[in-house]
Chains A and B, each alone.
Chain A
Amino acid sequence: MTAVAARPVSPVLRRDRRRWGWGLAALVAVGWSLLAAVDGEVVNPAGSVQFGRFAAAALSPALDGAFLGVLGTAALVTVAYAVLGTVLALVLGAAGAVLVARTTWGRRRLGWAAARGVLAVPRGLHEAVWGLLLVNVLGLDPWVGVLAIGLPYGAVTAKVFADLLDEVPRGPYEALLAQGSGRTAAALYGLVPQAAGGLLSYAFYRLECAVRSAVVLGLIGAGGLGYQLSLSFASLRWPEVWTAVYALALLCLAADVAGRAVRRRVAAPRRGADVLSRDRVLTAAVAAALAGVVWSWWFLALSPASLVSARAREQAGYVLGAAWPPAADGDLLREVVRQSVVTVQTSVLAIAVATAGAVLVAGVAARPAGRSARGRRVAGSLLRAALLLVRAVPAPVWALVLLFVLLPGVLPGALALGVYTLGVLGRLAAEAVEEADARPRTALAALGARPSGGWLYGVAPQAAGPALAFALYRWEVVVRDTLLVGLLGAGGLGALLASRLAAFDWAAVTTVLLATVALTLAVDLVSDRARRALR
């Protein structure tokens, strides 16, 4: 501010350049992806008959005893993988959190940044990619499923645990240090208790995610529900496919509901009269989880010996030797670039579909704050149930279905991921609407505005920021999932990886994996910058 008294007489409307830049870039990216998606033949007319048969079987799933028995066992396998994978992730995460927390490194920023950078590699590779790599080292061993979930989840968990510990108020910790406690003891008494609620609820959130990942690992051959689904799919037994889809939707739903109940309980603890009385529900949940670990170990017949068997060591040595240095011939690099572009286009289109859908459904899916008509409430409940169902079925299943009628390429992957992500984003956007301050809308209604006016001027401006931030964050997740959908044949880097793996061309596999990690890091960076411009 200068001390000049004269103020501009007619102010000019200045757009926020950064935001407009990002908005324009997003529009261009979506348009470019859309052009690529509808380029050439996209529809597979021959598949429509098969699709019709598939759709017709939706209402007549296979319910014979033998198949249900098989599915039941498969569901147990999936749960066992999820439980053991989560436990491994939590152990790795707790140990890793110490290594990547700012508290540990203090002012040594370089060491901290390096530790974080190391974590980015396991995090950047999808569980399914880990599964495919491990199966080549360990063979068909149950450890593959456990490690494929545990390693990448462990890296994410380490980062989140470290952030939780770093965000806790430092006063008690520093007071303990000042009175001469060791750093470990001070952290146990001053930091961990404050973060305990967050740590516990994140652990249960990971268990929910692990169930979904275990299903996906089954699709690429690790056993369990996903494996049964892919078997029935490959042999075109549609009623069985539908039974498996319903079963895994139920399983994911159960994990979702139970996990959220536990997390809500952690967030709002009951006040007990006794000082040392514990919350029974939480105690039971933790005890059940621990019993589940023992049972899963027994059920999967895990043997630590197979991890260090001579065969595994020999195989690991061979793969690692063949994988380095990465292949760098021109044909492969050109293909990597081409497929990276396809991957980005798929993810951009998917997130655009999901965001547009979420904007459309958010208003109806949000629980209204005050009184509302019965029709409005019924529509809201139905929409919320539909969103739940849509996100309970993993994206690759949607992709497999769409591949009946669409040719492999950008479109089937984008639509499959878009539908699944819509389930997630729709709920988040509805929550953003519910959290918006209701007073502006009430005031607009009081001055005679139409419902649409109250929505445009009262609710949307408040909900748009958080909803867009969620969409950008989900884009990072979608890019990782694009690889997975690609592995199953929808195109992109995932498809390239699958073909190189099938050919045991390990040097090329390394190149593709490096490209994958670089791509996910780049997307994380762009999304983070865009979210900052939104604030």
Chain B
Amino acid sequence: MDLTVGPAERVAVVGASGAGKSTLLAVANGAVPPSSGSVEVLGQDPAVLRGPALRRLRARVGTVHQHLELVGPLRVVHNVNAGRLGSWSAARAAWSLVRPQGLPEVLGALERVGLADRVFDRTDTLSGGQRQRVAVARLLLQDPELVLADEPASALDPVLAGRVLELLAGPASRDGALLAALHDPALALRHCDRVVGLSAGRVVLDAPAAALTVADLAAFYGAPA
């Protein structure tokens, strides 16, 4: 696979289940080392970095994995604040669990996903769609340059899904980039500039979104439009 994502690009990754979308995102955020070849993220190779240097790079890459990265027994405010753990000291992180730090920013981020009134609720009392928005709020607080999103809108209604993708594309509009695995063709075409199709771990489609239609993508999934 040979794929380059440039600054200010918004790329949708499409493909059937098991095509390698999640693996691509995991390799890009350094969670999984490539079995062969090399990866360059924001000009650096996460496989050769260690310790604080690796942490600094990772703090610049934000990932939304549906909502499975949230901790149920923690309050929403802590799950959102976890986005800042890359820059916080250990002592500040620990203290924040007692006295939530930087509350205005947390409220601001939650306001943008429409969940400000749930800031002090336990996360496991939220619905799947609400948790997905909490995961997005965490990413907003992290304020990364590269956004990697794995089905960020799978549990949301169309209006909220569009709103969430706009938020995720924020960094891309400031010379960052967005790489999002999406199932919904309409969403992919509306919010991305470029569509990359994967099949069995290979790039089989790479075209500007403007050149594609919803029917093209539906055919790609093998489902009738």
Asked whether A452 and B90 contact (CB < 8 A) given A440-B71, A446-B29, A462-B73, the answer is yes
Q: Tell me the smallest distance from the CB of A148 to a CB of chain B, in Å.
A: 43
A447 & B70 in contact (Cβ 8 Å cutoff): no
Q: Tell me the smallest distance from the CB of A303 to a CB of chain B, in Å.
A: 58
Residues of A with C-beta under 8 A to B70: 440
Asked whether A452 and B93 contact (CB < 8 A) given A440-B70, A447-B59, the answer is yes
Task: Select one of B55, B69, B73, B78 contacting A448, CB under 8 A.
Answer: B55
A440 & B69 in contact (Cβ 8 Å cutoff): yes
Residue of A nearest to B86 (CB): A448
Among the stretches B6-14, B113-121, B184-192, the one at the interface with A is B113-121
Determine if B132 is an interface residue (Cβ-Cβ < 8 Å).
no
Residues of B with C-beta under 8 A to A14: 120
Residues of A with C-beta under 8 A to B30: 446
Determine if B198 is an interface residue (Cβ-Cβ < 8 Å).
no
B58 & A457 in contact (Cβ 8 Å cutoff): no
Residues of A with C-beta under 8 A to B118: 11
Q: Tell me the smallest distance from the CB of B214 to a CB of chain A, in Å.
A: 32
Q: Give the number of residues in A that approach B within 8 Å (Cβ atoms).
A: 29
Residue of B nearest to A442 (CB): B31
A453 & B58 in contact (Cβ 8 Å cutoff): no
Q: Tell me the smallest distance from the CB of A445 to a CB of chain B, in Å.
A: 7
A447 & B86 in contact (Cβ 8 Å cutoff): yes
A450-486 contacts to B, CB under 8 A, are 450, 452-454, 456-458, 461-462, 464-465
Q: How does the 8 Å CB contact mask read for B36-62 relative to A, with 1 for contact and 0 for none?
A: 000000000000000000011111111
Q: Tell me the smallest distance from the CB of A9 to a CB of chain B, in Å.
A: 8
Q: How does the 8 Å CB contact mask read for B60-94 relative to A, with 1 for contact and 0 for none?
A: 11110100111111100111001101111010011
B63 & A447 in contact (Cβ 8 Å cutoff): yes
Residue of A nearest to B116 (CB): A11
B73 & A450 in contact (Cβ 8 Å cutoff): no
Asked whether A448 and B93 contact (CB < 8 A) given A439-B65, A440-B70, A462-B71, the answer is no
A443 & B65 in contact (Cβ 8 Å cutoff): yes
Q: Tell me the smallest distance from the CB of A387 to a CB of chain B, in Å.
A: 26
A422-456 contacts to B, CB under 8 A, are 437, 439-440, 442-450, 452-454, 456
Determine if A268 is an interface residue (Cβ-Cβ < 8 Å).
no
Asked whether A457 and B119 contact (CB < 8 A) given A444-B82, A447-B63, A447-B86, the answer is no
CA distance A439 to B68 in the complex (A): 7
Task: Select one of B56, B57, B73, B85 contacting A453, CB under 8 A.
Answer: B85
B119 & A450 in contact (Cβ 8 Å cutoff): no
B58 & A448 in contact (Cβ 8 Å cutoff): yes
Asked whether A8 and B117 contact (CB < 8 A) given A439-B65, A447-B85, the answer is yes
Interface centre among A12, A446, A448, A449, by most B CB within 10 Å?
Answer: A448
A457 & B56 in contact (Cβ 8 Å cutoff): no
A11 & B58 in contact (Cβ 8 Å cutoff): no
CA distance A461 to B94 in the complex (A): 12
CA distance A450 to B56 in the complex (A): 10
Q: Tell me the smallest distance from the CB of A457 to a CB of chain B, in Å.
A: 5
Determine if B100 is an interface residue (Cβ-Cβ < 8 Å).
yes
Determine if A277 is an interface residue (Cβ-Cβ < 8 Å).
no
Residues of A with C-beta under 8 A to B78: 457, 461
Q: Could you say which interface size class chain B belongs to?
A: 35 or more
CA distance A465 to B124 in the complex (A): 14
Residue of B nearest to A463 (CB): B73
Q: Tell me the smallest distance from the CB of A459 to a CB of chain B, in Å.
A: 9
Determine if A310 is an interface residue (Cβ-Cβ < 8 Å).
no
B94 & A456 in contact (Cβ 8 Å cutoff): yes
Determine if A10 is an interface residue (Cβ-Cβ < 8 Å).
yes
Residues of A with C-beta under 8 A to B117: 7-8, 11
Determine if A13 is an interface residue (Cβ-Cβ < 8 Å).
yes
Residues of A with C-beta under 8 A to B65: 439, 443
Residue of A nearest to B79 (CB): A457
CA distance A266 to B107 in the complex (A): 51
Residues of A with C-beta under 8 A to B90: 450, 452-453, 456
Determine if B207 is an interface residue (Cβ-Cβ < 8 Å).
no
CA distance A445 to B100 in the complex (A): 21
A449 & B73 in contact (Cβ 8 Å cutoff): no
Asked whether A448 and B85 contact (CB < 8 A) given A439-B68, A443-B69, A453-B93, the answer is yes
Q: Tell me the smallest distance from the CB of B51 to a CB of chain A, in Å.
A: 10
Task: Select one of B63, B71, B72, B120 contacting A446, CB under 8 A.
Answer: B63
Residues of B with C-beta under 8 A to A11: 116-120
Q: Tell me the smallest distance from the CB of A370 to a CB of chain B, in Å.
A: 10
CA distance A452 to B62 in the complex (A): 19
A-B contact pairs, 28 of them (CB 8 A): A7-B117, A10-B107, A11-B118, A437-B68, A439-B68, A440-B71, A442-B31, A443-B63, A444-B69, A446-B30, A446-B63, A447-B63, A447-B83, A447-B142, A448-B55, A448-B56, A448-B57, A448-B86, A449-B55, A450-B55, A452-B90, A453-B88, A456-B90, A456-B94, A456-B97, A457-B79, A457-B85, A462-B73
Given A11-B117, A461-B73, 19 other A-B contacts at CB below 8 A?
A7-B117, A11-B120, A14-B120, A439-B65, A440-B68, A443-B65, A443-B68, A446-B31, A447-B63, A447-B82, A448-B56, A448-B85, A450-B55, A452-B94, A453-B88, A457-B93, A461-B71, A461-B78, A462-B71
4 closest A-B pairs by CB: A448-B86, A448-B59, A443-B69, A449-B85
